[in-house]
Amino acid sequence: MKWARFLRGDNISYGIVENSGVIQQVSGDPFTAYSVTGVEYDLNEVKILAPVIPRMLYAAGPNYRGHVEGMANRRGSQPVYPIFPEPNFRSVHAIIGTEDNIVIPKDCSGTVQPEGQLGVVIGVDARNVKKDEALNYVFGYTIGNDISQRVWQGGDRTMFRGKNCDTFKPLGPWIVTDLNPNDFHITVRHNGEVWEDFYSKDQIWDTATWIEELSRYTTLHVGDVLWMGTQGADGDMFPGDVIEVEISDIGVLKNYVVAED
Amino acid sequence: MKWARFLRGDNISYGIVENSGVIQQVSGDPFTAYSVTGVEYDLNEVKILAPVIPRMLYAAGPNYRGHVEGMANRRGSQPVYPIFPEPNFRSVHAIIGTEDNIVIPKDCSGTVQPEGQLGVVIGVDARNVKKDEALNYVFGYTIGNDISQRVWQGGDRTMFRGKNCDTFKPLGPWIVTDLNPNDFHITVRHNGEVWEDFYSKDQIWDTATWIEELSRYTTLHVGDVLWMGTQGADGDMFPGDVIEVEISDIGVLKNYVVAED
């Protein structure tokens, strides 16, 4: 199933997206309980929102060898591969939906950089979960774009403004259930040109391992989102640019880059 | 006013705590709208919960010179003072209330360490707020204890497990309004012995400056909590220990240290 959260007039609802391009509105939400209302819209009649606002948004530390190498190359240093899975946190207030604007802060160096990410949405509270059962705790999969300001990221002590300014966390367009997290093909396109093209099977640690490791220390709660890392280290985006992250069997997360007023 | 969130039977409510030790239950919440129900309890008839579960819990980077020096001393290095205010994030899932247990994870070195923190609770959404108006966006003040596992904190790439295991973020006991954030006296007591004794006027950057700086990049939302840093670098806590953080005009946040089963 394909679940979207959408705005129609002043109302926010969840809905089931059909291949025909129709969205079936539900009452409730897919994580706890819902019922189909019988109301349906064409996708172009509604505004698609980020499919969930998690209580916690986790971002895997380096999880593709090519990202470690690309970032080291940017810094002119040798790559240092991680030795165990460690997440960082992202601001849930920075989340925006597909088709929304990414705003470049006026006091930064003037550009931001994308990172296409597989998003894993937790469906059942998980604590001390073993790897071979970990995927039972997943509700479904979505797409993230971990917008970064590399100058701040490189020089600041924390990743607060380098990764977490308002609008820096595009998420969506929807959540798709019943997929295999090791089978995704991920593409990042900048103004239509392919910047990254990679496969989730090349993660240093797979999704199930991340859930096992995180849940040893923290309860993963329903609706929490884990981003599974990115490949490569992409170039600069300027106002006027369009950035898309596409994941096979999920869809396309598309955002526009603008300058802060 | 002194606002507590409490459990009575299966119901969670907010209430106004009076100096007599009576809590006046309200419906609604103090951040949006409430009305007094007329029901009152003695404080010892209810379970006090963390006074708010914020959407984001920010922790100031080093904000007292003594903490920078104490941590450098632990590492055997020279102190490096921060040059501008930068927060980190803490897991909102790790929040517990006063009188709750801090659980030492079984795979760590066996101890955890406290950090007494002034907690600032946002009352009005704040973006691009100037310092001289920043305190108008504060709802009130509470107490935090930024429980840390220093071995993990020192060796890990991120502070995920070093600062954010379940139960590592005691918060409470309540929120007190209409106080001056530069006038607090903060005391940390370990099994009754004073470990730290400091004053909020010694913050490297004051609360208003932190709100100005954070709100330049992110919207601070109603109910978000900012921890304003700690003084010193405290010793080890073991199972069976009791840790208290007291802040003048607010109260005492008291927690028990236990080992994971």
Q: pLDDT tens for residues B108-129?
A: 999 999 999 999 999 999 999 9
End-to-end CA distance of chain A: 39
Model ipTM value: 0.96
R_g of chain B computed on alpha carbons: 18
Beta bridge partners of B8: B11
* Tokens found for residue A139: 């509700």
Instruction: Tell me what percent of the residues of chain A surpass a pLDDT of 90.
Output: 93
pLDDT in tens, A64-101: 998 888 888 888 899 989 999 999 999 999 999 999 99
Backbone dihedral angles phi then psi of residue A209, each to the nearest 5 degrees: -65, -40
Using the predicted structure, report yes or no on whether residue B234 has a pLDDT greater than 80.
no
Residue ranges of chain A whose CB lies within 8 Å of a chain B CB: 55-56, 61, 82, 86-94, 105, 107, 127, 156-158, 160-161, 164-166, 214, 216-219, 221
B86 contacts in chain A (CB < 8 Å): 156-158, 160-161
A173: part of which helix (H) or strand (E)? strand A169-176
Residue with tokens 């490189």: A154
**Quick check: pTM over 0.90?**
yes
pLDDT in tens, B59-107: 998 999 988 888 888 888 999 899 999 999 999 999 999 999 999 999 9
DSSP 8-state code for residue A6: E
Please list, in sequence order, all residues whose beta carbon lies within 8 angstroms of the beta carbon of residue B249, skipping any fewer than 6 positions away.
B176, B179, B183, B184
Res A71: pLDDT: 82
Counting beta carbons within 10 angstroms of the beta carbon of residue B239, is it exposed (0 to 12), middle (13 to 18) or buried (19 or more)? middle
Task: Name the residue of chain B whose CA is nearest to A164's CA.
Answer: B218
B88 contacts in chain A (CB < 8 Å): 158, 160
* Helices (H) then strands (E): counts for chain A: 4, 17
Question: Which domains are assigned to chain B?
Answer: 2-48 (2.30.30.370), 52-259 (3.90.850.10)
Using the predicted structure, report yes or no on whether residue A115 has a pLDDT greater than 80.
yes
pLDDT in tens, A149-180: 999 999 999 999 999 999 999 999 999 999 99
10 Å Cβ neighbour count for B84?
A: 12
